[in-house]
Structure 1
């Protein structure tokens, strides 16, 4: 582990934290100036060297990263790169991201900064994509850095359907998992389809669920925790930046402001502030291969420097993500985050894990899966909550379990084979070169 990197406890308050940022910022800006993109942006005059200079610099956008694909933001010799990644691009326009070996160690150390630690006695199931994305590789590296055993359960692989993941959780005595929150609900349904019950009776080794990758409301988080009987530990980041925030023992999400400088951008006014509500803007401090200066993640967040009882002396963040952008129903803005709060505010006995909604001009149409003997009551309760809490007219339909997430998908164990070209007389040779 790189000894020059700040560690929790190295600063005694916000002022010392900001002073540490300022000391490192000049070096980070000099690294950025070595990349073609920032060399052009900074120009030939005096180079920016501190926080006072940042205000005059334009925000770096996702489109900037796409326009400078693949190596327009490379600030070191290509031979020094350890990994190359891309976020989930659209329409064939990837967002590149790359790291040196030292950058990578920093990422892995940050990922492991959880109040539920990763130890050599742990078995960590990684249930996020590997491929070109960062997330699976990062969790894998963090686990190995701390001596844990890794189960690579990539959620984009045909070889690891939900049924196989449930079997691995049970048979391999998995202690920690890394996934999107929705996966934890799918495992619960998959466990029941396999004859197990989520929780300590059938999964006694499990001690925490690490989650990230999608906004998570308090009620859904609490529901997942009650289902499995273990803490749900949240984390926030992106392929472009790596881990940006982790959860403290008080259950609050803290920005790693010892590794990056953060601003909050108000798109309506064009003003950036240290805290408040808006879009998160990131300036990296210890990333050498691809420094980012005022990079706008476009995620909607709320940032506060109010002290937390944990004593980490780091800003807290609430991540609303793009779900903060809603749809109009009867003149009311309806967001996924608010809907999720109401859906998972239903009693546990309703057994509602999965739902979907469509915002129509005159009403909100919602479907939920519910226990058959609770379906009518669950629909009525949610209809009333939507009326009284959101002020919208809603049509709520309660489906039987499997109505939204087919049970056969939870039980299926598809036969994944290697591609071949020679077939017998009664075989389907249309499967040549396919993996299934």
Structure 2
């Protein structure tokens, strides 16, 4: 018996006329805004005034301690996981924070609702799924309080760069905009609610660079956001070709890292500052670069420790894992959350004058990228494994210019038939000329720092 197969959301989008695509995209934007910026949102933004980070460290830590103890008390009372693991006491100083247990991704993966307050209506939660930089799928839930408090610090920090939310902006990311097989523009779509030009990061082939720059100029974008590798590709083209860049006030990047040398190329080409940020989908933005290239923790939004394998603070100048306690929500709290990323703790005060904790570098964030046979550089492919069922860990390896192998460490519930959807997802970004295979492995190699890289290129650049 043949079953009726309904078209997927992506198929509906792909076959819709342009005007309907724009309606669909803006409808999704309305849904997201209902979570992110409703009600007294501007008061939240004001509470994250960037001037805060110039206050004395002792004053910042006193505020954090009071806020932390309120969070711990509410989590013990309302959230099943923390009711079991948190001691019933008040911390006398932030130095006692390492005495509390850390939260791993595996604990969330086993039972994500264990991290949700018992009094939260599950129907009001925002389900999120991310593969993260390690390639290990993770499902978690956020309430509206968390999503608003994730967004507010980022919107507040725009003022430092002379920008504000609501001004025309451009974003390069992995959001699906157009089929990979499209060979003519547009490779972007305008989101009216955000005044955002959402650009595909997966169509950045040399032949298309002029089209991207043209639409950036025509839309009059004021600032840019998204993947730094995308902005670097355009910057290199501008410097080599002499093509006219848009007049931007700033470029604020996320999701991945590039070298300081590449960052300087972007600034030279676009004639504006570029700021790299660090954050995760689970806890929002955590740190922003200052003009001296240090990453400053957004201490009004979170406490970010840099710890050793035992969960204890590393010495200044040393590298350790970033462990974050966010103040975003007591309904879906993350307390001492192990991000899996590494940072090098600064040994002295930053010349910029800010007194929040700072990092010299974030390690393991400069992902390898895939080079396609037609010359495109594709980065941040962790999301293509989302359709897979029972994937414990994964790694995408380029073993030849036209061949990709997706290596999978299976969980007990691994479903081999789901890998076809993974291959199809990868095909949308890597194109029809790329051979895409998958294989099961017992374990995946780590870097010297113990980090699992999700994308590796095993051929010369």
Deviations along 1:244-280, one digit per CA (max 9) or x if unpaired, are 011334443210122212221112x553347542111
Relative to structure 1, is the Cα distance of residues 323 and 252 closer, same or farther in structure 2, using a 3 angstrom cutoff?
A: closer
Deviations along 1:82-133, one digit per CA (max 9) or x if unpaired, are 6332222688842424132x333322221121421323673111222348xx
The equivalent position to 1:46 in structure 2, one of 73, 79, 88, is 88
- 1:98 matches 2:145: no
1:33-432 to 2 correspondences below 5 Å: 33=76, 34-42=78-86, 46-47=88-89, 49=91, 51=94, 54-69=97-112, 71-75=113-117, 77-78=120-121, 81=124, 83-88=126-131, 93-100=137-144, 102-112=145-155, 113-114=157-158, 115-119=160-164, 122-130=167-175, 149-155=195-201, 165-188=212-235, 197-198=242-243, 202-267=244-309, 270-273=311-314, 275=316, 276-304=318-346, 306-322=348-364
Relative to structure 1, is the Cα distance of residues 323 and 21 closer, same or farther in structure 2, using a 3 angstrom cutoff?
A: closer
Q: 8 Å contact 2:48–2:152 — kept in the other structure?
A: no
Relative to structure 1, is the Cα distance of residues 212 and 111 closer, same or farther in structure 2, using a 3 angstrom cutoff?
A: same
Separation of aligned partners in 1, 2:202 and 2:81:
33
**Secondary structure in structure 2 of the residue aligned to 1:72:** helix
Deviations along 1:212-235, one digit per CA (max 9) or x if unpaired, are 222332111112222322211111
Deviations along 1:317-341, one digit per CA (max 9) or x if unpaired, are 23433269xxxxxxxxxxx89xxxx
**Secondary structure in structure 2 of the residue aligned to 1:23:** helix
Q: 8 Å contact 2:293–2:360 — kept in the other structure?
A: no
**Secondary structure in structure 2 of the residue aligned to 1:272:** coil
Relative to structure 1, is the Cα distance of residues 354 and 149 closer, same or farther in structure 2, using a 3 angstrom cutoff?
A: closer
The equivalent position to 1:32 in structure 2, one of 54, 75, 82, is 75
**Secondary structure in structure 1 of the residue aligned to 2:138:** coil
Separation of aligned partners in 2, 1:253 and 1:93:
27
Separation of aligned partners in 2, 1:240 and 1:166:
33
Q: 8 Å contact 1:31–1:291 — kept in the other structure?
A: no
Q: 8 Å contact 2:150–2:283 — kept in the other structure?
A: no
Q: CA deviation at 1:243?
A: 0.3
**Secondary structure in structure 2 of the residue aligned to 1:314:** coil
Q: 8 Å contact 1:166–1:190 — kept in the other structure?
A: no
Q: CA deviation at 1:291?
A: 1.1
Q: CA deviation at 1:156?
A: 6.5
Q: CA deviation at 1:183?
A: 0.6
RMSD: 4.2
Across the two proteins, how many residue pairs are aligned to each other?
313
For 1:137, the equivalent position in structure 2 comes to none
**Secondary structure in structure 2 of the residue aligned to 1:312:** coil
**Secondary structure in structure 2 of the residue aligned to 1:281:** strand
**Secondary structure in structure 1 of the residue aligned to 2:307:** strand
Larger Rg: 1
Q: CA deviation at 1:150?
A: 1.6
Relative to structure 1, is the Cα distance of residues 91 and 25 closer, same or farther in structure 2, using a 3 angstrom cutoff?
A: closer
**Secondary structure in structure 1 of the residue aligned to 2:319:** strand
For 1:346, the equivalent position in structure 2 comes to none
Q: CA deviation at 1:68?
A: 1.8
Separation of aligned partners in 2, 1:124 and 1:183:
15
**Secondary structure in structure 1 of the residue aligned to 2:50:** coil
Q: CA deviation at 1:21?
A: 0.7
Q: Which runs of 5+ in 2 are unaligned?
A: 1-41, 177-190, 369-375, 380-399, 401-428, 431-461
Q: 8 Å contact 1:21–1:285 — kept in the other structure?
A: no
TM-score normalised to the size of structure 2? 0.57
